[in-house]
Amino acid sequence: PKEPSGSLSADSIKIKKEVANAFVKRQKRSSLYERYFEYYKSPMEQMHERCENYPPCDYLSDQIGFSLAYNRFFG
């Protein structure tokens, strides 16, 4: 139903909870252990990111492997 001003009323745009849950998912709670690893990266992951952010290292890692490329530029 339209209001006199020409816009839709709030009641006409509501959807059922079951329909809303089909496309809006809540993030499940994680354990303290999982939350810790979301915020703190492992040293190996930090090394990978450092190499990926430096284009020559990233390119070379595709050619000869990550460990050799990382040691060549940062080792």
Average pLDDT on 2-17 reads: 64
- pLDDT at 3 exceeding the cut of 60: no
Q: What is the reported pLDDT for 33?
A: 72
SS3 16: coil
40-43, long-range: CB < 8 A, 24+ apart? none
Is 3 among the domain residues? no
Is 63 among the domain residues? yes
Is 28 among the domain residues? no
pLDDT tens digits, residue range 34-72?
Answer: 777 777 888 999 999 999 999 999 999 999 999 999 999
- CB count in 10 Å sphere of residue 51: 21
Q: How far apart are CA 56 and CA 51, in angstroms?
A: 8
| E runs forming strands in 1-75 | none
Q: What is the reported pLDDT for 25?
A: 66
Is 59 among the domain residues? yes
Is 35 among the domain residues? no
Q: What is the reported pLDDT for 75?
A: 86
Domain that holds residue 69: 42-74
Reported pTM? 0.50
Is 58 among the domain residues? yes
- What's the domain count of the chain? 1
